[in-house]
Amino acid sequence: MKAKISRRPGVVSWLYQVKRWMYRAGRPGLLARAMNRVSAIQFSAGLLSPARAVTLEVRGRRTGRVISFPLVVAEHEGGRYLVSMLGKDANWVRNVRAAGGQAVLRRGRRENVHLREVPSAARAPILRRYLAVAPGARPHLPVDRHAPLDEFERIAEQHPVFQIITGSQSPPASPKAV
């Protein structure tokens, strides 16, 4: 009896290539921008989207206009985090830093938040959790989601992580450095 050959790895490989092409040079191309716009609307309404999907609204550092980005929230050890799959030069990261961490998360309702950047030494377990819950980010981080923690430590400096602090909660302790 002949074993059935799965086509899944080929499809996954092709999808990874397409997603990386959509974000050439670490920036979204025309197709990615259009898809992000649709996702931002969909995520902010909380319709037909994963439970972890949110829209981040932050004031633009140059224009001062509110800019929206679709993101995935990763939960780790009781905290909620946003991760930059495109690295430290992503526009939303620059805007959050320029806004002093003040932002709004939307998923059916508006939530005023403060985003506190997590030190590089504490990012590895959060990055691993992020890859577990955000399959769309996997093509952009150069490590397998099942890799040991030291592989995530190697890339931690290049991928900013922000802890989400709501106005109603006291700031939780920073994650422990590994």
Question: pTM of this prediction?
Answer: 0.82
Q: Which pLDDT value is given to residue 23?
A: 86
Is the per-residue pLDDT at 6 higher than 80?
Answer: no
| Average pLDDT of every residue of the chain | 88
Is the per-residue pLDDT at 175 higher than 70?
Answer: no
**How far apart, in whole angstroms, are the C-alpha atoms of residue 98 and residue 164?**
16
CATH for 8-166 is 2.30.110.10
Confidence of residue 26 (pLDDT cuts 50, 70, 90): confident
Structure tokens at 84: 């930059």
**How far apart, in whole angstroms, are the C-alpha atoms of residue 60 and residue 69?**
11
What residues does each domain of the chain span? 8-166
Is the per-residue pLDDT at 5 higher than 70?
Answer: no
Residues 26-43 as b or e (16 or more Cβ within 10 Å = b)? eebeeebeeebeebbeeb
Tens of pLDDT, residue by residue over 84-125, are: 999 999 999 999 999 999 999 999 999 999 999 999 999 999
Highest-scoring range by mean pLDDT, 1-5, 32-36, 89-93, 169-173: 89-93
Segment 149-160 mean pLDDT: 97
- Phi, psi of 3, rounded to the nearest 5 degrees: -75, 140
Structure tokens at 86: 């495109």
Tens of pLDDT, residue by residue over 61-74, are: 999 999 999 999 99
**How far apart, in whole angstroms, are the C-alpha atoms of residue 69 and residue 28?**
11
Cα dihedral across residues 59, 90, 49, 147: positive or negative: negative
Residue 106 contacts residue 58 (beta carbons within 8 Å): no
**How far apart, in whole angstroms, are the C-alpha atoms of residue 70 and residue 90?**
13
Q: Which pLDDT value is given to residue 4?
A: 41
Is the per-residue pLDDT at 169 higher than 80?
Answer: no
How would you classify the pairing of strands 79-83 and 161-166?
antiparallel
